[in-house]
Structure formats: C-alpha cells, structure tokens
C-alpha cells in the first residue's frame, strides 16, 4: 500500500498541474478570447485564428486528457482500493459499484439531453440538469449506496470532470477544427458547428466552478454532517451563479 501512496502523490501533482492548464485555457477562451474575437474583422481573423487557436487548443485538449486520466487513476487508488468512497462500515456491493460506474455513463446521457429539444432552452436544460444531479447526490449518500462525504463529493467531481473531458475531445475540438479551417479558407463553418462548440465550452465553464469545490472539500469534513449532502446542490447553484456573473463582466471588459 505504501507504493500506492507514493503513486497517488505523483498522480495528484500531475492532476493539479494538468487541471490548471486545462481550466486556465477554458477561462481564457470564454472570458477573454470570446469577447475579443467579436472585435476582429475578417482579415485579422485569417491572420490570428489559424495561428493562435491550434496552439491554444493543443494544450487545452491534452490538459483535459491528463487531468481526466490521472483523476480516474486517483479514483481507483484512493477511493476504490483505498476504500475512501464509502461510509464507515459499508462494503462494496452491486449498488454502490454500479453507482460509481455511472461516472463513465453520464456523459452519454448528458450529450443526448443536450442535443434534445430540452437542450435548446438553456433555462430548462439547467433546471433539468440540477434536478438530475441533486437526485444522484441523494441516491449516492443514501444507505442503499453508502457513499460517505468524501465519496459523494468526488462522485460529483468525477461526473462533471468526465462530462467536461468528453466535451473537449468529442464536441469542442472536432468542431473547432472546422471553425479554424473555415476562417483560414474564407469558407466559414456552418453556424450549427460554431454554436455547438461554443455551447459545450460554456457548459464546461459552468461545471468547472462546483468541480473545484468538490476537489477542495474532499480534504475537509466541515460539511460532513448527516444532512451535509444538501450543501452540495446549493454550492452547485452558487457556482453556476458565479460563472454567470463572470460572463456578464467579461462582456464589459474592453481593450485600450
């Protein structure tokens, strides 16, 4: 077990470094580059976009990959093998094993819902997403499943992180390639391509704020009371509100 402890320290280091790289670029795209891109004329875009975006997206997508892979390895080593996922006295069984595995299934459910008619209405989609996530948190901490405080925090963090990594590699990056090519050749990508890349990037931004809370608070027991699980849905709402306010501020920040 000592070897696994040493490995987990190394993985945490890589996980945090890669996460800083990934989320830092996510915020650059959404809060800096997005508002700035709207100020460029066609000729400027032809010069800037093909040079800037492939470089930025390289570090963006590989930051996401390394963050996700090291996160999954830490989930296995610390929370599954190390048994930090479950409440005191609870053993691994079919119910909590299936619950854990939903982390890897949820991106496909999210993707289908996002593509549905509900996904076209941001408020309805956000409301539905909040209800689903709250229900999953409740089930995760219930006696039937038995995730402890650290368990349901990392469950939500892993769920959001997996959705975000899925978006980067299978929705944002493929569509950004089309957008960049369109700018370079003077034949703009279809509006739906631009909209999809932008929407999934925005979803990732909103998920990232409560994700950071989950990562930090697995190292604390401040909210680990019997009904402490109620705090997490509240934090998610606060996190989404923070992201919303930053978007509004970003649109008002001007260059010299």
pLDDT single digits (tens) 48-92: 999 999 999 999 999 999 999 999 999 999 999 999 999 999 999
Alpha-carbon span 72 to 49, nearest angstrom = 33
pLDDT of residue 187 exceeding 90, the answer is: yes
Domain carrying residue 168: 2-250
pLDDT of residue 2 exceeding 90, the answer is: no
For the stretch 116-151, pLDDT in tens is: 999 999 999 999 999 999 999 999 999 999 999 999
Task: Tell whether 161 is covered by a domain.
Answer: yes
Q: How many separate domains does the chain show?
A: 1
- Do 78 and 84 contact (CB within 8 A), yes or no? yes
- What local confidence, expressed as pLDDT, does residue 76 receive? 97
Task: Tell whether 255 is covered by a domain.
Answer: no
Task: Tell whether 256 is covered by a domain.
Answer: no
For the stretch 214-251, pLDDT in tens is: 999 998 888 988 788 999 999 999 999 999 999 999 99
Question: What average pLDDT does the chain have?
Answer: 96
Higher-pLDDT residue of 1 and 191 is: 191
Q: For the beta carbon of residue 254, count every other beta carbon within 10 angstroms.
A: 8
- What local confidence, expressed as pLDDT, does residue 59 receive? 98
- Centroid of chain to Cα 226: 27
Residue range 160-184: mean pLDDT, rounded: 98
Task: Tell whether 130 is covered by a domain.
Answer: yes
């Amino acid at each position: 077990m000592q070897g696994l402890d040493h490995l987990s320290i190394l993985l945490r280091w890589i996980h945090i470094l890669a996460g800083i790289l990934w989320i830092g670029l996510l915020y650059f795209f959404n809060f800096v580059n997005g508002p700035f891109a709207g100020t460029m004329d066609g000729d400027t875009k032809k010069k800037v976009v093909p040079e800037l975006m492939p470089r930025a997206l390289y570090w963006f997508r590989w930051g996401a990959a390394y963050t996700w892979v090291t996160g999954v390895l830490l989930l296995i080593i610390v929370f599954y093998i190390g048994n930090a996922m479950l409440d005191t006295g609870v053993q691994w069984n079919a119910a909590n094993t299936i619950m854990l595995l939903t982390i890897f299934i949820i991106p496909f459910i999210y993707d289908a819902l996002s593509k549905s008619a509900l996904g076209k209405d941001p408020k309805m989609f956000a409301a539905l997403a909040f209800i689903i996530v709250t229900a999953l948190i409740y089930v995760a901490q219930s006696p039937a499943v038995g995730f402890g405080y650290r368990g349901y925090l990392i469950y939500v963090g892993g769920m959001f992180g997996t959705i975000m990594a899925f978006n980067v590699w299978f929705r944002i990056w493929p569509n950004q390639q089309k957008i960049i090519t369109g700018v370079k050749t003077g034949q703009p990508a279809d509006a739906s391509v631009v909209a999809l890349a932008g929407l999934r990037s925005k979803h990732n931004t909103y998920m990232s704020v409560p994700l950071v809370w989950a990562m930090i608070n697995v190292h604390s027991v401040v909210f680990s009371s019997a009904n402490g699980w109620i705090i997490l849905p509240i934090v998610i709402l606060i996190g989404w509100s923070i992201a919303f306010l930053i978007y509004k501020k970003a649109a008002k920040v001007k260059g010299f």
